[in-house]
Structure 1
Amino acid sequence: MALKATIFKADISITDMDRNYYNDHNLTIARHPSENDARMMLRIIAFIVNAHERLQFTKGLSDDDEPDLWLKSYSDEIELWIELGQPSEQRIKKGCNQSQQMMIYAYADNSFEAWWKKEKTALQSRKNLSVFTLPEALIKILENAVQRSMQMQVTIQDGQMWLTVEGSDSAESVEIAITRHTQ
Structure 2
Amino acid sequence: MALSATLHTFAVHLADVDRGVYEEWETRVARHPSETAEFMITRLLAYCLEYREGIAFSDGGVSSTDEPAVLARDHTGRITAWIEVGAPDAERVHRGSKLAERVAVYTHRDPVKVLAQLTGKKVHRAAEIPIRALDREFVDTAAGLVQRRNTLSVSVTEDVLYVELNGTDLSSPVTDHRIE
The one of 168, 172, 175 equivalent to 2:168 is 172
> 2:11 corresponds to which residue?
11
Structure 1 segment 94-173 matched on structure 2, within 5 A: 94-109=95-110, 112-122=111-121, 123=123, 125-166=125-166, 171-173=167-169
**Structure 1: gaps (5+ residues):** none
Q: Does 1:26 align with 2:26?
A: yes
Query: Residues 124 and 77 from structure 1, CA distance in 2 versus in 1: closer, same or farther, beyond 3 angstroms?
Result: closer
Q: Give the AA of the match of 2:151.
A: Q
In the alignment, the residues of structure 1 paired with residue 171 and residue 40 of structure 2 have an alpha-carbon distance, to the nearest angstrom, of 18
Amino acid at match of 1:174: L
Q: Displacement, 1:118?
A: 4.2
Contact kept? 2:94, 2:124, Cα under 8 Å: no
Which AA in structure 2 matches 1:106? T
Paired residue secondary structure (2:106): strand
| 1:42-81 superposed matches below 5 A | 42-58=42-58, 59-81=60-82
Residue by residue over 1:147-176, the C-alpha shift from the partner in whole angstroms, topping out at 9 and shown as x without a partner, is 11111112211221211011xxxx211112
Q: For 1:113-144, what per-residue CA distance to the aligned partner results, in whole angstroms no more than 9, with x for missing partners?
A: 23423422335852442211111222321122
TM-score (norm 2): 0.91
Aligned-CA RMSD value: 1.7
Q: Whole-Å Cα distance in 2 between the matches of residues 62 and 116 of structure 1?
A: 22
Q: Which blocks of at least 5 consecutive residues in structure 2 are unaligned?
A: none
- SS of the residue aligned with 1:19? coil
How many angstroms apart in 2 are the aligned matches of 1:53 and 1:25?
13
The alignment partner of 1:80 has SS state of: strand
- List structure 1 runs of 4+ shifted beyond 3 angstroms: 121-125
Number of aligned residue pairs: give it: 177
CA contact (8 A) 1:96 1:128 kept: no
